[in-house]
Structure 1
């Protein structure tokens, strides 16, 4: 696919050069024909004879060929064509195009340098093609200055437009790069957040192992049944700690370390699906109407999956409060294992209506909607993918904004 795109670009470049050179040459031919008509009308000949008309045509053609180098040597081509236009009527068209092309660079010194041969070309052309009155009159000078000024103005405007388009292109590229960086930062932040959550759980598991193993070391009055029960608790806690440790290492493969709390105080236990009622009450206290629907045995969901599910519901409610204030939110959390399905998953749906845009603001912007970065959902997507599931969000056919997630788990 890239080859046809390059081919189209080359064809476009050739076409752009062809029509510009052709137009300038035709403009010069029109002037050449007008001069010849004036000579015939007044029964005059060029200073160098009638054969000079063919020489004029050849010089004009050579000036048109010089235009092919106007982008590499703009000042040299503009000077050469301006001087040649004093000897050739056909060269006037290429000289105008060369001056316009030079003016797109928007450098006053270069433009001022070309003004001298441009004005001298007028006197040279009057000498080559004399009329009954060969004196250089004020109208001729004014016409020369006006044509020079118009050519410079056209070129300057083209240069300004090109600079504006280039700045827009650069801004678009910068915005794309910044957005890509924000996406990466959101993913890294979500991984670090998962690691902090599992760090607390891992510390709890290891503390249980240390406590029960210490009891076995110092308690000599335990019955065999109590020793067996304690050993079973140690084994289960150690296995769960290993599972959590594998998950932490998988999440933090290339993520920088996470800073601990500044005061060294332990963080509270991470919320799970058991805390959905508290989360819904907090949202209702903020003015959001929340309806919570739970189905299935949510207590059987593993703690790691339950934490991720809680975070997804939390972010869904936060987005609804920020981007659809006052809208009602319906939260549904269900487990497919209780429905007799082979796969054991937690399915989450957060649905909220999208309020209509208000137009009472003078600039048409809704003042009541908080503009966010949109990175929270990217972080949730990363969390769901790391858990082996998926997360989708967007408006549905009914016009509501729907966030759905599927998190697999095994008992």
Structure 2
């Protein structure tokens, strides 16, 4: 799978496997779960004045948020009763409000979206489509940045072994066409293009947009590299892609936009790739909020003590500590690692081999960056060693012979730096 140049004088190239089986477009539908769980990004620090509470009856497609002033919300994927609202501490210690809903016997759809959103406008999208399956970040940015001039539809998957967006391009051409027209109306973007692998270029050509072919070698399929490859530029150091008028949205989210306005119902199911212990894959569709254990049970995948569960793919995914955690609207994959194949990190110090520097697509001096991060010097890491330029590909950890968890140090560094800046702003 890996192509390493002589003496490692270059970046590793991880090729995406090509699925030649006739069952690649078969999607297993996971049964409706007994309970779903959602996470609201608002910190759960209040205990009164909530709009919702345990015991409340909820309909499928209903918008849920804690208070009237909150911008963050989730869309219920089931009809049932709120069982619990509690605090959940997630990745890197970030605090969420966890809302659990027990599923009822008869499904009923909330009609507010259907009655009030006949046309695909920006206002309607911001009000109801901020949690689109496939891409939860695209719609919210439309309210905080200048109008987008260019939109790139991502028909690729950012991690190896994952093929969720590729399957959408392969099987949902008509819905993609409709979704693109709605996307034009919502954003007013003058230029829309789609990025796909060479194998899907002919199918993507049936869609009325400019097709850009990306060679499926990791990390070519990461969003930042896709946009740089297509546009031939990067944003200024102090700006984001959205601030210069460029947005990227996953193909699954475009189909979700199409289904929302065509059917009058907010999509509540998520397509994802499940990667088994032997690296075989299967595509499943499950309600957002379904617990991981429900999906594994439906696929007859057993886990044992020492096995590792990952939300996402092998390069950029996050390990789970419990099968009771849910899939979210932006979960593209679940990976199950056999305990015998789990590579454990070490507490060794850097041996100055330079592998991480050669592998880094952002050309960051990773060997120096890891030293300051190990000593909690987060501001120095950003100012002197380009911490914020990291595109989170994970190649540094992949090639490190000392097994230093470099990727995790970087993620922690970004999180802690953001906390420091928030405190400084509040004290200013």
Does the alignment reach a TM-score above 0.5? no
Q: Which has the larger radius of gyration?
A: 1
TM-score by length of 2: 0.20
- Say which structure is richer in strand: 2
- Say which structure is richer in helix: 1
Which structure's relative contact order is higher, taking Cα pairs within 8 Å and 6+ residues apart?
2
